[in-house]
């Protein structure tokens, strides 16, 4: 919690010129504890937090009375909800009128890490729409990639590009969401140390950076395309000037029918295309998105395309971790239902104590939600949770 004298006097002087500004109320608001809120994944609804106060501008958003240790909740690791500040969820109110009633959209989340906006947008889109979640900073892109995988939507792809790169896609996107770098004053209640980073010079630098980002990405937007919480600002712009137009490109389909025969059992709907993710592994995408795949890879770096399926060996298919988390996974895949203690042991990559399981691959499920894969070998069971996903904190289970 910050003290009244910690608030920069230069900021208070500037705010005095805004009609309706109440300095006492502004200072008092910073003495309150920051609220804790989460947003539920509508595709992984298991009835969580039903008794909590709901956030009026975002269906699925709820306030929590206290901040739990989310790391110790297997449902969090399964992508059942995302921890997000309530004010940021206002994006749902702004976009819902556009995205819910329009099919087949192309949407760009330009500054997407760690993934709050992208998971919110993904929940609004129909399956034939495509969301590109972009993050230019590589370390932040890795976090974004994990959160997108947890959310589990096939039509959310990840890129790692500078905003200027999207100018190569004139008039491609129907909607562009830009969470441009800002002064960070909305974080003061949550982290008092962040106040030390505020300065008038930093505000000016952020303003100039915001203008550059918007100018760089503007060509990619189609013509005519479309309060308990922390400090937040949001604006909507509609492009009226004539936009460039992407010409359809000719391509030979990369859909691999042989891979479809090998890996199709992983999905509940086999009406997807199976394309190479790299030299050894494959991904699944909607057939309607293959032209986008060919078009985008000529212009930007595609870090994630569709749902990662895994790779083939001479004896079997090695399923990717993401299949276990995907909302498109075959519900009839072999699985093992576990309680909280066993789920946490699995997430720590420790012995779960599970025995008497038929040999082969199984999804570990908690409350019906996939957490990852194990392979039973008769006398032992191998845990295939990616090592960088495991819980590292000491816990009693």
Each residue of 291-321: pLDDT tens digit?
999 999 999 999 999 999 999 999 999 999 9
What phi, psi does 30 have (nearest 5°)? -80, -5
Q: Is the peptide bond before 114 cis (omega within 30 degrees of 0)?
A: yes
Which of 2-16, 139-153, 235-249 tops mean pLDDT?
139-153
pLDDT for the residue 397: 60
pLDDT at 46 over 90: yes
pLDDT at 233 over 70: no
Average pLDDT value over all residues in the chain: 90
pLDDT for the residue 226: 40
Exposure on the CB side of residue 371, measured as CA atoms within 13 A: 29
pLDDT at 367 over 80: yes
pLDDT at 216 over 50: yes
For the chain, the straight-line distance linking the first and the last C-alpha, in angstroms and rounded, comes to 33
pLDDT at 156 over 90: yes
pLDDT at 222 over 90: no
Q: What is the pLDDT of residues 101-152, one digit of tens each?
A: 789 999 999 999 999 999 999 999 999 999 999 999 999 999 999 999 999 9
Q: What is the pLDDT of residues 70-102, one digit of tens each?
A: 999 999 999 999 999 998 999 999 898 778 778
Percent of the chain with pLDDT over 70: 93
For residue 378, what are the CA distances in angstroms to 242, 320, 321, 322, 356? 65, 22, 22, 25, 8
- Write down all domains in the chain, each with its CATH number in brackets: 89-220 (3.40.50.150), 257-389 (3.10.450.720)
pLDDT for the residue 287: 97
Among residues 243, 232, 145, the alpha carbon closest in space to that of 189 is found at 232
Q: How confident is the model at residue 183 (pLDDT cuts 50, 70, 90)?
A: low
Report, in this order, helix, strand and coil percent for the chain, each rounded to 5.
35, 20, 45
Answer yes or no: pTM beyond 0.85: yes
Burial letters 2-19, b for 16+ CB under 10 A, else e: beeeebeeebeeeeeeee
pLDDT for the residue 11: 82
């Amino acid at each position: 919690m910050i003290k009244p004298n910690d608030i920069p006097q230069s900021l208070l002087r500037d705010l005095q010129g805004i009609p309706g500004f109440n300095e006492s109320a502004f200072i008092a608001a910073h003495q309150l504890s920051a609220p804790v809120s989460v947003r539920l994944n509508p595709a992984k609804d298991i009835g969580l937090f039903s008794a909590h106060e709901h956030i009026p501008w975002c269906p699925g958003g709820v306030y929590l009375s206290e901040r739990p240790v989310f790391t110790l909740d297997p449902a969090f690791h399964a992508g059942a909800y995302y921890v997000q500040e309530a004010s940021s969820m206002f994006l749902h109110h702004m976009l819902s009128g556009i995205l819910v009633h329009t099919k087949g959209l192309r949407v760009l989340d330009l500054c997407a890490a760690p993934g709050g906006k992208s998971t919110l947008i993904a929940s609004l889109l129909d399956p034939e729409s495509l969301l590109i979640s972009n993050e230019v900073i590589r370390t932040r892109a890795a976090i974004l990639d994990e959160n997108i995988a947890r959310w589990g939507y096939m039509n959310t792809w990840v890129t790692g590009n500078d905003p200027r790169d999207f100018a190569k896609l004139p008039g491609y996107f129907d909607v562009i969401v830009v969470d441009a770098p800002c002064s960070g004053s909305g974080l003061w209640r949550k982290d008092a140390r962040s106040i030390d980073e505020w300065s008038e010079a930093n505000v000016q630098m952020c303003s100039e950076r915001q203008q550059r980002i918007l100018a760089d990405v503007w060509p990619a937007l189609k013509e005519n395309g479309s309060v308990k919480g922390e400090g937040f600002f949001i604006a909507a712009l509609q492009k009226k000037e004539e936009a460039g137009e992407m010409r359809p490109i000719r391509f030979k389909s990369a859909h691999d029918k042989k891979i479809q025969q090998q890996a199709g059992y992983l999905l509940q709907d086999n009406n997807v295309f199976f394309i190479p993710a790299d030299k050894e592994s494959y991904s699944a995408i909607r057939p309607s998105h293959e032209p986008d795949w060919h078009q985008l890879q000529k212009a930007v770096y595609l870090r994630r395309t569709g749902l990662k399926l895994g790779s083939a060996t001479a004896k079997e298919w090695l399923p990717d971790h993401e299949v276990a988390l995907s909302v498109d996974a075959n519900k009839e895949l072999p699985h093992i239902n576990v309680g909280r203690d066993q789920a946490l042991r699995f997430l720590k990559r420790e012995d779960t104590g599970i025995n008497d399981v038929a040999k082969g691959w199984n999804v570990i499920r908690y409350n019906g939600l996939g957490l990852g894969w194990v392979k039973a070998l008769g006398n032992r069971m191998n845990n295939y949770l990616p090592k960088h996903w495991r819980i590292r904190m000491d816990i009693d289970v």
